[in-house]
Amino acid sequence: MIMKKYTKYIIALAAVFASVGCTHFDDMNKNPYVVYETNSESFVQPILYNTRKQLAYCDYYIFGDLMQYTINTNFENSAQLVYNYVISENFINQMWTLYNQFGNAQYMLATARKECESDKGNPAMVGVALVLRSWIGHLLTDTYGNVPYSKAGIIALQGNEFDYTVPYDDQKSIYIDLLRSLEEANACFAKAQEKVEAGTLTSANFNPICDFMYNGDVEKWRRFGNSLYLRLLMRVSNKAIEESQGIISLGDEFGDINVVAKINEIYDSFLSGEGDYPVMRGIDDSARVQFSSKDSALYTSFYATTSGNWNGEAACSTLVDKMLINYKSGKENEVNPTYKWDPRYFRYFTKAMGAPSQETREYLSDYFDEKVSSLGNSLIGRYPKGGYTGDHIGDLKMDPAYAILNYDEILFIFAEAGVRTWIPMSQKAYKDLYLDANLQSILQWQVGWERATDYYTASSVEVINWMDYLDDEFDYNKALETVMRQKYVAMFWVGVEAWADYRRTGYPVMRTNGPAAMNNGTLPTRLRYPSTEAFQNAEHYTNAVNGWLNGDNNMLTEIWWSSTAESKAIRSLGRK
Amino acid sequence: MAGVGVIIASTLQGVVTDINGNYEIKATPVQELQFSFIGYKTESVKVGSRTTIDISMVEEAQAVEQVIVTALGIKRDEKSLGYAAQKVGGDVLASATNSSNWLSGLSGQVAGLNIQQSNTGGGGTTRVTLRGESSVDFANNTALFVVDGVPMYNHSTTSDAGGEGSLNAIDYGDGTGDINPEDIENVTVLKGPAATALYGSAAANGAIIITTKSADKLASKISVTYSTNLTFETVNTSPDLQYEYGQGTRDDYYYFVRSTDTGKGSGYHPEPSYSNQTGLLSWGPRMDGTLYYQYYDESAGIGGSIDQFGDFRREATPFISHGDWFKDFFKTGHTWTNSISVSGRINKRNSIRVSVRDSHSEGIIPNSPSNMQHVALRTRNEIAKWFTSEISLNYRRNQRDNIPVSSGYSAGAGIMYSLWCYAPNIDMDWAKHYWLDGQEGVQQDTSLTGGKNNAYFVANESINTQDRDRIYGNVKLNFDIYKGLTLMVRAGLDSQWDFRTQRYATSTQSDPNGFYREQMIRSMQYSGEFLFRYTHDFKHDINLTANFGGSIINRKYERHQQWADNLKNPSVYTLANSASLVKTNNYAERRQTNSLYGLVQFSWRNALFLDVTGRNDWSSTLPASNRSYFYPSVSGSVVINELADFGRTNGLVNLLKVRASWAQVGHDTKPYRIEEYLNSTAFPGNVTTPTSKVNGLLLPEKVSSWEVGIDLRMFRNRLNIDMAYYNSKTTNALASMPVSASAGMTSVFTNAGSIRNHGFEIQAVGTIIRTKDIRWNISANWSINRNKILELGDGIDFWQVAGRGSYAYMYAYEGSSLTSMYGRRYKRAPEGSYVIDASGKMVDVSGQVVHDMNGSPIINEEIEYVGECMPKWRGGFGTSFSWKGLKASVKFDGQFGGRVWSETNWALNYRGKGIATLEGREGGFVPKGVMQMADGNYKICDYEHTSTSIQAYYQALYARECCEANFVETSFLKLREVRLEYSFPKKLLAKTKVIQGLSISVFGNNLYCWSKFPGFDPEAVTMRGSALSPGFDLLQMPGTASYGGSISITF
């Protein structure tokens, strides 16, 4: 029979099929171009770069216009006029996307903690992770108020039993954890130092390739961490004093702290260069993320933004009035003989013209050239008056270093604490701190990066002239306002800082209810939660909105640390 | 049978059978008798020594359509099928064989089949779906292509940095068209899961089974066919462009200086030499010949002349329309194809067919040449009586020298993005000189596009090349093992190498330093299968066929990219010319599916049929615990006319079949979705967590469906009607579900919810005239599909299926369809709103658009439902008429209902280029609708827009943010094909003794489109990332009409 004859072939065939079984399926489903686990330091640079890049987008499109640094001339649609407090859903969502980086920081922290379970682990990495997480965490809560925090960003750590709905925490408890985290980070850095001294760790520093900011220098991370701690202490100080005489309980490990005492402790460390809380000691310590147009890995958010769109962001008179003194801002482009100017101005902008915020299109048309086009006009052809070419937000487009926290900021904070008499010091002492803060800010903007073009480089004479002016006009009766005004100037494009200071102190006093102002004529106290939350995180979102927001996802409810009597009173001065 | 003509071949002698079917004729034993009757196959019988010759006539139509190729290459009698399967003969595709993609020939031919292309010319991706969208992942919903029994490995890969979903995608094609259409014997469309249950996962959305020609049925020993054809392609549709007003804005500024003006506004520059710009907007003055200083180009002598001192002086020239600025950019494309095939039947046991095809084409976009070669070999050898082998082998080469970035609103190198920047008052010829004088190769001239890329610069300098080689084929061995038992063993291979380059020249808008990228994609599919088949005829007319088989399909895919993101020297496109570190990006995946399956068929008296199938798959992409999954199907049919007589003898009802089927098919997922990993970043050694959560508990997606149908053939097969109703339900739908970013990732892979598709299909073919010389056929088909989300996962309110920025979204909510579109709408007066008119009467204004105090429509902030993007129904209609060798055919098809979000509509009207924006340009205009007053009450809109504010009005009316404003109808009716073919009579050709067949045809495809669609082609979809995405027209390319002719000659 044929069948018998060929049975052996059939059996052979069956054997071939049987041998190519499922045995390699697990290997087959492993991605060969990724890693399945790595060490904690591998997360640092991506978190720094991605967070600061996204934040710069928000600085440009949201916070710049919100804080009256800039006015966007290009948007035809009223839905995008941030300076009138109309903030589109697209913009609302931009800060929320930072949760991705928050998740990375959580993953890094978990990895670093696991590393520390062995003796060889470097506690400093836990510190770095905590600093990064605290940075992103405060950006989120300062923007939206109560936000997902304690259970946020951990989906990657949850294995197969994951929960993609995340509860919202109230801002006070978030701040308690932020402060606690930075205490812990400082302790971790100290512990790493001890391990090095004890010889169990060769070096506390980590691989420079993982950290373009400080090249893995853990000492600098510690100073950054404590400076961030100082920033957040100041943020909650008024509220804590009003609420509980400045006492905040950080839980079992770190106990109760007094915010004023803590600021003093940090100030002492700053003065002495010793102590438990080392902070930044010069502009070289500033936390800044360097971008580059030469390397696509380091592009800014604006690398491909057309110059037409980029040019559409004009200077706002609120800022210009503080930087160009006696300059007839606006229509005539005239220079007054007594004109004095801040050397940073032409770092920020290339045009000496400022337009007011919250005005109608018709009114603003006098400030903008609508009649002349230049290359790259993408929408309608409005430009700030004065000249046809050139960017007018300086070199923030291509090769900037965007600041996370500049050295000058801590000087401003110490000066403010001095004015408030929280840190006991003489009037001259806080004035000196104030002047130094301004000078350091100017220097920071001078040396921050190489300019591609030389529109302007301030000479030392011009810096001295401006410093003399600041010195002369300092009024001890208005010391707080002056300090906060100049801090506002210095906080240009430093994330949410200017907005946070405004909500905390009310300074600088700004008009907020101009003719075109929406949002009840109030500068938004927070951004709305993204509308996607209503779908994607429905239960927790509803709880949050029905809770502290009284049922309305608005931009008027005071967040925890901003709802102080002082702040509200000063902010109301801008509503006339 | 009465009336059958009986003639002696090659003579004129003949008789007709009497009423009882008897006949008498005198013939010699060497002569041949021919029996013929209309509608039946002509039979020839050698007389031999017989004195009585009885024959039974076979109905022609049935004879032709009887056998159909079903899953696994099993040939079946069509009437035995319990599911919908439709065969399309190679001749139906005839005209389309000459177009850039033969698949377009299926358009409108098959009920329930939908073909979508992105209009990028030859070689582009074709999205073929059957019976709706079954899965949330659109890339997962396309039909499987099977060539000679082996599934093709078709994939498309974006080469863009933006990755999936990017608007800057280049359509490199997905390989579905990689077959020589002239090799196609026929195509069978298996629509539902029941039909394809044996193909497993990949065929859950139906399958297109292609059988290629072989030589084993050849009449003569050797046959050579040569055919040549030339096809021309032109833009066939155009948006409703206006040709009355030119560039500029309404508020007295026109970007250039009017001759009589002394200047307005402080930005005015008194020298007429100042501005040489056009803008994106066309709200300028009437093109009535008024003199203006306009665009000038010294070297081309435009806009001025050389004065007596030899200097170029600008001159005011008439402001006029120079014709169709948009269409002028496109040229007439052409495709010239030559193919030759040699078929040989060496003896009854061995046959071979070789075909070669060579095609050269140039698309409608300047500088877009491509060519293609295809070689195919097919042999059949009967090595022993019990052992045959069949080999099918194909080599295909595609070389495309420049694939345009087809669509998308991006500052990259999109042709359409650039084109929409031109103004009606320019002559496209001006733009052809695209380098600035003295800066050739360094700086493009963007004067005519308001600073955006010059379209000719993009076409000529932003070049995307592709070289693709593909080899696919299989070896099949058939063994007759025992009486009724056969074994088929087949091994297949599908291997592709795809080398691509992309270049941006220096001064490209998005990448001022230019870039150069290379990409190598390598894919390989090995498949092996076996199939035992046993057939047995029992007593009592019971017949049993059992099949048992198994297969392994292993796929490998690799992608290696090298990018030079900044060029050191302009116009030097090598990786070595990179100004920064060359970036590499690599990806690879492997996957395998092992399967075992069985099919048992029973039949009784050729009247009752029952099929039962079962298949178990093991997929490498699923977690170990869920890797193995089984799915069954049952289908049956009853041929009622075999059981009861419906007057078959008088030809009233020839076939009445009722069929029903139920099936379940499992569906796996993509690799790497079950185990957590970290993504590498552009920073060496640094990582981030991915943005999508993997899930180690994924289950296979399941599609369950049932179907009932009727197949009715009447009047001697002159009227065939086939109807089907189907209902399919996807459960455990695999979705990448968007979640709150606060979780740390933006989406999770999960099995969530279920989706239902149900619909109705009808197909009718009628033969109106059928005589010896004349035949007139009419065919029509119609289909309707409804899609509904039955449930979403726990705690999930919706899925975002697709989206375009913050302008338009496709959301799936429970109870609505998967393809529902959402976005912002105009504010409308609520129900019960009224106004008091002048006479004091209350007028109901509910639902009217509310305008603000400046007379602009108000757009709601909320995201609301705006409509459905899938059409309500689709249909096709065709007729063919033949008289002797002359055959003429016309085909129409269309769809009704369905709207898409159109960025083209936005560009057209927001920028003032469409005729919809003409009203009120001069003399103003009062919008229809109401205005809301400060007290909340309404009044009839009385804001009169002036010729100045009319621009602001239209820009608010057509705001991109307003989804409703740009949500446009896609209903259409297309004259799909007109074809005229003449085959020379065989008698005439017989005299040449060499030529056996000669035919000449002329044809036109997509000749006309009736549609309200404001863009180019209501059918076209957009390429995003590596997938075509329905529902969005993102500055799509024009549709094309093609005209051509071909000559085919057989020796």
Task: Tell me how many degrees the CA angle B417-B286-B283 measures, rounded to the nearest 5.
Answer: 40
pLDDT, average across residues A23-50: 90
Q: Shortest CB distance from B678 goes to which of A35, A50, A369?
A: A35
pLDDT, average across residues B148-172: 68
Check residue A452 and give its pLDDT.
33
Q: Give yes or no for residue A50 having a pLDDT over 60.
A: yes
Most confident of A295-309, A459-473, B357-371: B357-371
Check residue B66 and give its pLDDT.
64
Higher per-residue confidence, A536 vs A206: A206
Q: Give yes or no for residue A359 having a pLDDT over 90.
A: no
Nearest to A442 by CA among A428, A457, A455: A457
Distance of residue A151 Cα from the nearest chain B Cα, in angstroms: 8
Nearest to B527 by CA among B489, B557, B559: B489
Higher per-residue confidence, B1028 vs B685: B685
Most confident of A172-176, B342-346, B841-845: A172-176
- Buried residues in B173-186 as b, exposed as e (16+ CB within 10 A): bbbbbbbbbbbbeb
Alpha helices (H) in A2-157, listed in sequence order: 2-19, 25-28, 44-58, 64-66, 89-96, 99-116, 123-144
Residue A155 and residue B745: Cβ atoms within 8 Å? yes
Higher per-residue confidence, A100 vs B52: A100
Angle subtended by helix axes A427-447 and A479-490, to nearest 10: 10
Is the torsion defined by CA of B929, B931, B932, B937 positive or negative?
negative
Residue B798 and residue A381: Cβ atoms within 8 Å? no
Q: Give yes or no for residue B651 having a pLDDT over 80.
A: no
Distance in angstroms (rounded) separating the CA atoms of residues B456 and B329 = 8
Three-class HEC string of B897-943:
CCEEEEHHHHHHHHCCCEHHHCCCCCCCECCCCEEECCCCCEEECCC
* Weakest mean pLDDT among A510-514, B16-20, B383-387: B16-20
Q: Give yes or no for residue B901 having a pLDDT over 70.
A: yes
Distance in angstroms (rounded) separating the CA atoms of residues B428 and B449 = 11
How do residues B431-477 score in pLDDT, each as one tens digit? 888 888 888 888 888 888 877 888 999 889 988 899 999 999 999 99
How do residues B871-883 score in pLDDT, each as one tens digit? 899 999 999 999 9
Distance of residue B621 Cα from the nearest chain A Cα, in angstroms: 6
Q: Give yes or no for residue B54 having a pLDDT over 80.
A: no
* CB-CB contact of A496 with A139 (8 Å): yes
Angstrom CA distances, A556 to A83, A95, A520, A542, stand at: 15, 18, 8, 18
Which CATH fold topology does B1-58 show? Immunoglobulin-like (2.60.40)
* CB-CB contact of B851 with B931 (8 Å): yes
pLDDT band at B713 (very low <50, low <70, confident <90, very high): confident
Check residue B939 and give its pLDDT.
85
Residue B672 and residue A537: Cβ atoms within 8 Å? no
Our CA dihedral for B262, B268, B273, B277, rounded to 10 degrees, sits at -120
pLDDT, average across residues B376-382: 91
pLDDT band at A375 (very low <50, low <70, confident <90, very high): very low
pLDDT band at B1025 (very low <50, low <70, confident <90, very high): low
Residue A373 and residue B587: Cβ atoms within 8 Å? no
How do residues A474-484 score in pLDDT, each as one tens digit? 999 999 999 99
Higher per-residue confidence, B260 vs A157: A157
One-character DSSP codes across B700-713? -EEEEEEEEEEEEE
Q: Give yes or no for residue A525 having a pLDDT over 80.
A: yes
Nearest to B82 by CA among B204, B209, B190, B195: B195
* CB-CB contact of B453 with B445 (8 Å): no
Nearest to B317 by CA among B264, B246, B370, B249: B246
One-character DSSP codes across B338-361? EEEEEEEE-SSSEEEEEEEEEEEE
Nearest to B970 by CA among B867, B891, B892: B867
3-state DSSP assignment of residue B981: strand
pLDDT, average across residues B233-257: 75
Check residue A373 and give its pLDDT.
33
Token representation of residue B269: 């520059």
Q: What CATH architecture does domain A42-296+398-572 belong to?
A: Alpha Horseshoe (1.25)
**CATH tag, B96-236+332-414+462-801+980-1050:** 2.40.170.20
pLDDT band at B485 (very low <50, low <70, confident <90, very high): very high
Distance of residue B624 Cα from the nearest chain A Cα, in angstroms: 8
Check residue B26 and give its pLDDT.
77
Domain limits of chain B? 1-58, 96-236+332-414+462-801+980-1050, 826-859+901-967
Distance of residue B114 Cα from the nearest chain A Cα, in angstroms: 32
pLDDT, average across residues B43-66: 63
3-state DSSP assignment of residue B991: coil
Distance in angstroms (rounded) separating the CA atoms of residues B862 and B857 = 15
Is B746 an 8 Å CB contact of chain A? yes
pLDDT, average across residues B173-185: 82
Distance in angstroms (rounded) separating the CA atoms of residues B1035 and B960 = 13
pLDDT, average across residues B608-613: 91
Check residue B221 and give its pLDDT.
78
Our CA dihedral for B117, B121, B122, B125, rounded to 10 degrees, sits at -30
How do residues B789-817 score in pLDDT, each as one tens digit? 898 877 677 777 888 877 888 888 888 88
Is B630 an 8 Å CB contact of chain A? no
Residue B688 and residue A46: Cβ atoms within 8 Å? yes
How do residues A549-563 score in pLDDT, each as one tens digit? 999 999 999 999 999
What whole-number percentage of chain B has pLDDT above 90?
Answer: 23
Distance in angstroms (rounded) separating the CA atoms of residues B195 and B661 = 9
How do residues A12-31 score in pLDDT, each as one tens digit? 655 555 555 556 888 888 88
How do residues B251-275 score in pLDDT, each as one tens digit? 544 455 544 444 333 333 344 444 5
Higher per-residue confidence, A411 vs B949: A411
* Weakest mean pLDDT among A356-370, A402-416, B939-953: A356-370
Check residue A146 and give its pLDDT.
97
Q: Give yes or no for residue A168 having a pLDDT over 70.
A: yes
Query: Chain B interface, mutation test: which of A25, A89, A140, A379, most B Cβ atoms within 10 Å?
Result: A25
Higher per-residue confidence, B846 vs A105: A105
* CB-CB contact of B1033 with B1015 (8 Å): yes
Q: With a CB-CB cutoff of 8 Å, which residues 90-129 of chain A face chain B? A: 90, 96-97, 99-100, 102-104, 106-107
Residue B275 and residue A372: Cβ atoms within 8 Å? yes
Q: Which of B5-14's residues contact partners 24+ apart within 8 Å by CB, and which partners? A: B5/B34, B5/B35, B5/B36, B5/B37, B6/B33, B6/B34, B6/B35, B7/B33, B7/B34, B7/B36, B8/B32, B8/B33, B8/B34, B9/B33, B9/B34, B9/B44
How do residues A92-148 score in pLDDT, each as one tens digit? 999 999 999 999 999 999 999 999 998 889 999 999 999 999 999 999 999 999 999
How do residues A174-226 score in pLDDT, each as one tens digit? 999 999 999 999 999 999 999 999 998 999 999 999 999 999 999 999 999 99
Burial class (CB in 10 A: 0-12, 13-18, 19+), A18: exposed
Check residue B772 and give its pLDDT.
82
pLDDT, average across residues B126-149: 81
Is the torsion defined by CA of B284, B287, B293, B295 positive or negative?
positive
Check residue B411 and give its pLDDT.
60
pLDDT band at B130 (very low <50, low <70, confident <90, very high): confident
CA neighbours closer than 13 Å in the CB half-sphere of residue B845:
25
Is A155 an 8 Å CB contact of chain B? yes
Check residue B64 and give its pLDDT.
40
Q: Give yes or no for residue B750 having a pLDDT over 70.
A: yes
Most confident of B576-585, B733-742, B778-787: B778-787
Distance in angstroms (rounded) separating the CA atoms of residues B999 and B886 = 9
Token representation of residue B870: 């899938």
* Residue A263, C-beta contacts closer than 8 angstroms, at least 6 positions apart: A230, A233, A234, A237, A413, A417, A422, A423
CA neighbours closer than 13 Å in the CB half-sphere of residue A104:
29
Q: Shortest CB distance from A371 goes to which of B264, B530, B955?
A: B264
What whole-number percentage of chain B has pLDDT above 70?
Answer: 89
How do residues B910-936 score in pLDDT, each as one tens digit? 888 999 998 888 888 888 888 887 777
Check residue A75 and give its pLDDT.
54
Tell me what the pLDDT averaged over chain A comes to: 86
- Cβ count within 10 A of residue B684: 11
Check residue B845 and give its pLDDT.
86
Nearest to B712 by CA among B649, B639, B608: B639
* CB-CB contact of B680 with A35 (8 Å): yes
Q: Give yes or no for residue A451 having a pLDDT over 50.
A: no
Please give the ipTM for the structure prediction.
0.88
Q: With a CB-CB cutoff of 8 Å, which residues 191-210 of chain B face chain A? A: none
Q: With a CB-CB cutoff of 8 Å, which residues 386-405 of chain B face chain A? A: 386
Q: With a CB-CB cutoff of 8 Å, which residues 44-73 of chain A face chain B? A: 44-47, 49-50
Check residue B269 and give its pLDDT.
38
Angstrom CA distances, A464 to A342, A483, B218, B500, stand at: 10, 19, 99, 58
From chain B, the residues in CB contact with A164 under 8 A are 693, 739-740, 743, 748
Distance in angstroms (rounded) separating the CA atoms of residues A69 and A494 = 12
Is A308 an 8 Å CB contact of chain B? yes
Most confident of B55-64, B88-97, B142-151: B142-151
Check residue A34 and give its pLDDT.
87
Residue B190's DSSP bridge partners are: B85, B207
Alpha helices (H) in A145-206, listed in sequence order: 171-198
Check residue A195 and give its pLDDT.
94
Tell me what the pLDDT averaged over chain B comes to: 83
Check residue A198 and give its pLDDT.
92
Q: Shortest CB distance from A152 goes to which of B280, B450, B744?
A: B744
Higher per-residue confidence, B666 vs A363: B666
